[in-house]
Amino acid sequence: MEIKGIITAMVTPFHEDESLDLDSAKKMANWLIEKGVHGLFIAGTNGEFHLLTDDEKVELTKAVKEAANGRVPVIAGAGCCGTKHTIELSKKLKEAGADALSLVTPYYLVPNQEDLYQHFKTIAESVDIPFLLYNIPGQTGCKIEPDTANRLADVKNIIGIKDSGGDFDTQLAYIEISKKKDFIVLNGSDSLMLKAFKAGAAGSVAATSNVIPEIEVELYEDFLKGDLEHAQHQRDLMDPLRMALKKCVAPAVMKQALNMMGVTAGVTRRPVQMPTEEVIQNTKEMLDFYNISYTN
């Protein structure tokens, strides 16, 4: 399946005891697909991948893949700090049914660019599944330089990159690679969504589409039709949600909003805590702005 359009960076539902809620994950995936999103990106930053065990990532992938039932591609986060660990997890996620895997850069340690090249190349050559590189240096402390991405674009199975760096010049450099090679760019900064589509990004992995999928799907459809004025209107509509999400560590506000909307997301895993009463009130005001009904 082609990876393009609005791809939801899906949150991972947990029960009150912080255990994995697979039934709610299936329902959430189905709800998002029915709202029109073009793909699901699971076990990423907003999916609290850093707080999931390998076994939980496998079970989550199986559940979401079952719910998607071939309607949209399911991209699962496989990136770990070590090359060997990432290969082992990638094999398990392929067996679990993922359509593609995302490889975030190693975090805490900071490998150099040749280290990164060898890391990603070795993984891609070890597991026969499409891989997307994942650049998010603000969280990992490690950037995939465009020259490194250009070299990796020649590696079989590396089909593109998700860029959440927020530096549009870097994303433009990735997009230039995509114009010359079989390599796609997925924007990962919601604020840059329309700008990225205009520049040539194939899709946008959007956290905000957990809550307002229709607005972002319409933005993409407007872009395809060439109605850039209305697409910009849709892009501007995203800002109240974007501002609300910054009130807490991700994905606390997102989960609070979804729970209030009747889409069970459950709690965050500690040390991240759910919103305070003050932030909950702000969340209500944000949902009111979108005319989204909710329960207190």
- Choosing from 162, 174, 220, 255, the catalytic residue is 162
Q: Is 62 a catalytic residue?
A: no
Q: Is 225 a catalytic residue?
A: no
For the chain, strand residue ranges (E) read 5-9, 39-42, 74-77, 100-104, 131-135, 158-163, 184-187, 203-206
Residue 46 buriedness (CB in 10 A; 0-12 / 13-18 / 19+) = buried
Enumerate residues 6+ apart whose C-beta is below 8 A from 181: 150, 153, 154
Q: How many CB atoms lie within 10 A of CB 243?
A: 12
24 alpha-carbon distance from chain centroid: 18
Residue pair 275/253 in contact (Cβ under 8 Å)? The answer is yes
Residue pair 92/100 in contact (Cβ under 8 Å)? The answer is no
Which tokens sit at 157? 């199975």
Which tokens sit at 121? 């190349």
- Choosing from 62, 65, 94, 134, the catalytic residue is 134
Measuring CA to CA, how many Å separate 124 from each of 90, 129, 234, 253, 284? 9, 8, 37, 35, 44
Distance CA 215, CA 129 (A): 32
Catalytic positions are 134, 162
